[in-house]
Amino acid sequence: MKLWGGRFSKSTDSLVDDFNSSIRFDARMYRQDINGSVAHAIMLGKQGIIPPTDADLIVKTLGEILVDIENGKVEFSVDAEDIHMNIEKLLTERIGDVGKRLHTGRSRNDQVALDIRLYLRDECEKILIYLAELEATLTSLAEKNINVIMPGYTHLQKAQPILFSHHLMAYFEMFKRDISRLRECKARMNVSPLGSGALAGTTYPLDREFVANQLGMKGVTQNSLDGVADRDFAIEVCFVMSMIMVHMSRFSEEIILWSSNEFSFVELDDAYSTGSSIMPQKKNPDVAELARGKAGRVFGSLIALLTVMKGLPLAYNKDMQEDKEQVFDAIDTVIMTLPVFTKMLATMRVNGENMKRGAAGGFTNATDAADYLVKKGLPFRDAHEVIGKMVAYCLSNNKSIEELTLAEFKNCSTLFDEDVYTAISLENCVNLRDITGGTATNQVSIAIENAKAFINNL
């Protein structure tokens, strides 16, 4: 008989049991469920709600159940529906009526709300570690390639020369924001809903703050309805996972382009590439492609969870059981992707010569040529027009700007002089952008040092 079966005159259909059960996916929260129950039992004994000796026995037995689960000695039952009922069933089987006292002052509604908060808190901590490793890899790669010049793009058209290290540090900033978002999300979820009961609180004199403290939580929820009905934290986790995947996906797209023969900016290590079953020459960037593809899967979890929650009245509804598979899958995908993505980057070979060759084409120094004229006194819009006509002349004559003779320069504007060749060199184009956030070697060096300090403080 089910633990809630007193009101019913017949057993649920087996199809309903299968449909209703969540044990196949919420079993992963066994540790959090037991930890929450231990804290609850200690509090019940402390408050005199149940005999302290009963509380001690419950705590002891829950510890034994935890060990048995981790040693593979426990088989969960679909009939018991979920991890919470399975643990309580095991407890009652072992210590009888004393085990039945554990649920005093508690509902599955506030119990599951606690468990998922605890579980997501732990998983967020793992992801923070993976993000820190990725940030360290980006910083190291940038430092090793501090002076490599590459073309920067807008609209995927060559725009201006930049440092490859500057490009890498742009992704450092993206993942740094992800770390900040994840920390804030973790802090917001780290409050205990236990004591909210089914929806209205409880008549027992629970010490909610004591339980929260026992679990390392920073406070308790302030409204019992919200305590059991809130899944903002799960949606927020899915959003943060989605942002992490957006950033990995954007970077993956560039790596896929850079590793193509047309670019040849980087070569991925053999251990992080795959081949073709029919074309023996192929070396495919499958890690990057899968990271790009899995982003859509995580976005789907976010949209699914938003859709589940958007029309639910207060307080708990069974629809909310759908939260776990979505947020679990989003987290699992990120945890699977981050380490392999990081190692792919760490082992990637950078072809600096090809990058610089790429920066030398496509008139990436055209803006600097215009800036040269501006510094000679010409208004920027007029300088822009002069250089635009110069580029048209170069295209007609199959020349780059730096290949023009001084006479050709002067035909475009008498303001040009011999020093124009220094002004439009790639090194000069890069290093004169010595402004906070700029691509100059000096600024990138500062950014790398700041990045190291950030990583050390994580």
Burial of 452 (0-12, 13-18, 19+ CB in 10 A): middle
Beta bridge partners, 161, equal 151
Return the C-alpha torsion angle 219, 222, 227, 232, nearest 10.
Answer: -80
Give the chain's radius of gyration (CA, Å).
Answer: 30
Which residue is it, tokens 């609180």? 201
**What's the burial of 253, exposed, middle or buried (CB within 10 Å: 0-12/13-18/19+)?**
middle
Chain-centroid distance of CA 99 in Å reads 40
Both tokens assigned to 368: 């600097």
d(CA 79, CA 152): 60
Of 9, 155, 277, 396, the catalytic one is: 155
DSSP string, 373-393: HHHTT--HHHHHHHHHHHHHH
3-state secondary structure of 162: strand
* CA atoms within 13 A of residue 221's CA, in its CB half-sphere: 25
> 91 in helix, strand or coil?
helix
Give the pair of three-digit tokens for residue 348: 């990637």
Catalytic residue among 11, 14, 180, 276: 276
Token look-up 């190692």 returns 343
Structure tokens at 133: 């490793």
Specify whether 247 is catalytic.
no
CA 34 to chain centre: 28
Distance in angstroms (rounded) separating the CA atoms of residues 204 and 44: 9
The CA-based angle 123-124-130, given to 5 degrees, is 95
What's the N-to-C CA distance of the chain in angstroms? 50
User: Which of 87, 105, 65, 81 has its CA nearest to residue 2?
Assistant: 81
425 an active-site residue?
A: no
Task: Give, in order, the Cα–Cα distances in Å from 403 to each of 399, 406, 424.
Answer: 6, 9, 11
Catalytic residues: 155, 276
